[in-house]
């Protein structure tokens, strides 16, 4: 058979000789079922003066933020995504909320509450209110696009506690 001469088709020949149960477990072992993003929530301590002008699209970005999210990766494949979140702060409660993002769009924001308006912004899921040192996990399915990961404790988004994630 001509397939035996092709390295590309080799794996199919091996699988074809197995039972159907073996095929599905082999497929599961080789295909990664989800993308993992590890996130550390950080800050410079509760004594640090919080910045207030570090929202998305604001002139300074969040380069001088006193709190933020550190991502193990900023790009993942579309499909199931697991966010494994740890609050690395010594003394401040943080969380991680996922929103869709379109370039040039302002994130709906409530000045009154000093928070992103979660309903208007299209809240997709969250690991809410982690105490210092605490961990949490969120698994959601994401389509290709850009997403905002933000902490929506009052004041934290404008302090610069957000990051962008690209889904391809």
Q: Which residue is nearest to Cu ion (CB)?
A: 151
Residue 93 C-beta: closest distance to Cu ion, Å: 7
Q: Which is nearer to Cu ion, 26 or 124 (CB)?
A: 124
Residue 30 C-beta: closest distance to Cu ion, Å: 38
Residue 46 C-beta: closest distance to Cu ion, Å: 11
Per-residue b/e over 123-138, b at no fewer than 16 CB within 10 Å? ebbbbeebeeeeebeb
Tokens 């924001």, residue? 109
Residue 87 C-beta: closest distance to Cu ion, Å: 8
Q: Which is nearer to Cu ion, 142 or 156 (CB)?
A: 156
Q: Which is nearer to Cu ion, 94 or 115 (CB)?
A: 94
Tokens 């477990």, residue? 25
Tokens of 41: 């929530």
Q: Is 10 in a helix, a strand, or coil?
A: helix
Q: Which is nearer to Cu ion, 68 or 76 (CB)?
A: 68
Integer CA distances (angstroms), 141 to 107, 132, 137, in order = 21, 27, 14
The whole-angstrom distance between residue 28's C-alpha and the CA centroid of its chain comes to 24
What are the residues binding Cu ion (CB under 5 A)?
Answer: 94, 151, 153, 156, 161
């Amino acid at each position: 058979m001509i397939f035996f001469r092709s390295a590309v088709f080799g794996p199919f020949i091996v699988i074809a000789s197995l039972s159907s149960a073996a095929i599905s477990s082999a497929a599961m072992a080789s295909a990664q079922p989800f993308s993992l993003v590890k996130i550390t929530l950080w800050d410079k301590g509760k004594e640090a003066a919080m910045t207030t002008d570090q929202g998305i699209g604001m002139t300074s970005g969040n380069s001088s933020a006193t709190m933020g999210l550190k991502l193990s990766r900023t790009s993942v494949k579309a499909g199931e995504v697991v966010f494994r979140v740890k609050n690395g702060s010594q003394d401040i409660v943080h969380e991680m909320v996922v929103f869709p993002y379109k370039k040039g769009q302002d994130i709906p924001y409530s000045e009154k509450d000093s928070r992103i308006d979660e309903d208007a912004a299209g809240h997709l899921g969250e690991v809410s209110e982690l105490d210092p040192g605490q961990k949490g996990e969120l698994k959601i399915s994401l389509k290709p696009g850009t997403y905002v990961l933000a902490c929506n404790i009052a004041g934290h988004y404008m302090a610069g506690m957000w990051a962008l994630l690209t889904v391809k």
